[in-house]
Amino acid sequence: MIEVRDLVVRFGRTRAVDGVSFGAAAGESLALWGDNGAGKTTILRAVLGLLPHGGEIRLAGRDLRRDGRRARAQVGYVPQQLALYDDLTAIGYLRYVAGLRRQPAAAAAPLLARVGLADEAAKPVGALSGGMKQRLALAAALVGDPPVLVLDEPTASLDATARADFLRLLALLHASGKTMLVTSHRLEEVATLADRVLVLEGGRVRLACPASDLAAALRIEMTLRLLLAEGDVGPALGMLADRGYAARRNGHGVLVRVRAGERATPLRILTDGGIGVTDFTLEDSGWIER
């Protein structure tokens, strides 16, 4: 569904993308992972036909250079920075996008319902919350039912609740058969959305692996947030320090640095020590080594 061969993108004398090749089969979700400047967004922009490039890009069998209009029609795009028309209503904005894509205006209402915005149809776009705007952008990307979705850091500006809601929508789209190409710097998003991951560094592919293997392959360090009873924070810090874990107080809990594959160990240490953990979350803290 997506075929990229020997992709090169130059900015002046600099090769921002240097000979990258990959593919995503129909219904597959591929994530691009890497530090800022690794080439993730540049690859997306090339796939969208927004940058001149060397090499070959094919979308749903259509060559992007030779048949650009039809190739781009196969793709829906959700950018990191949204550019919506705040003065239009939600339904009005979708009808506008439908017109641009030569789709019937009647397609707008079902798409709003699909992303959970049916009750917000008459509300001005500028009055929508950040999470609602992101869902509206997704609805716009779905106009015309393109088989491929391209998403650039789709939850970067969302709070935890809106992020979880949006990820559920994307997971349903993936399950429905959409082919997805997504960038993300959040490990939990990659695990939720992607089947495979390309790790980029300096515009080149450093590693390709199943999404489930990413944390272990890169030895990604995690931050485990544990919520405890107030009186248990001090003893918990002592227990974790005794076992070699770097931990510190965080309100009514502790933050613990752990490596992928070891995330359950601090929980067992505290449970065995008689300390109850009332809640926990896990976030990636970066790579231990590159």
Q: Which residues contact 99 (CB under 8 A, 6 or more apart)?
A: 105
Question: What's the confidence (pLDDT) of residue 285?
Answer: 55
Question: What's the confidence (pLDDT) of residue 94?
Answer: 95
- Residues facing residue 83 across a β-bridge: none
Question: What's the confidence (pLDDT) of residue 290?
Answer: 38
Angle at 250 between CA 247 and CA 256, to 5 degrees: 25
Question: What's the confidence (pLDDT) of residue 283?
Answer: 67
How remote is the C-alpha of 233 from its chain's centroid?
34
Question: What's the confidence (pLDDT) of residue 216?
Answer: 77
Question: What's the confidence (pLDDT) of residue 261?
Answer: 60
254-257 long-range Cβ contacts below 8 angstroms, 24+ apart: 254/225, 254/226, 254/228, 255/223, 255/224, 255/225, 255/226, 256/223, 256/224, 256/226, 257/221, 257/222, 257/223, 257/224, 257/285
Helix (H, G, I), strand (E, B) or coil at 186: coil
Q: How far apart are CA 47 and CA 187, in angstroms?
A: 23
Span 133-160, pLDDT tens digits = 999 999 999 999 999 999 999 888 888 7
Helix (H, G, I), strand (E, B) or coil at 204: strand
Span 5-17, pLDDT tens digits = 999 999 999 999 9
Q: How far apart are CA 166 and CA 169, in angstroms?
A: 5
Superfamily of structural domain 219-287: ACT domain (3.30.70.260)
Q: Are strands 179-183 and 29-33 parallel, antiparallel or unpaired?
A: parallel
CATH 3.40.50.720 fits 1-74+147-216, yes or no: no
pTM (2 d.p.): 0.78
Helix (H, G, I), strand (E, B) or coil at 33: strand
Q: How far apart are CA 63 and CA 52, in angstroms?
A: 14
What is the rounded (10 degree) CA torsion for 48, 49, 51, 57? Answer: 90
Question: What's the confidence (pLDDT) of residue 112?
Answer: 96
Question: What's the confidence (pLDDT) of residue 286?
Answer: 52
* Residues shown for the chain: 290
Question: What's the confidence (pLDDT) of residue 289?
Answer: 43
Identify the segments of the chain with pLDDT beneath 50.
287-290
Question: What's the confidence (pLDDT) of residue 260?
Answer: 60
Span 153-181, pLDDT tens digits = 988 888 878 888 999 999 999 999 999 99
Strand order in the sheet with 2-11: 14-24, 2-11, 54-59, 62-63
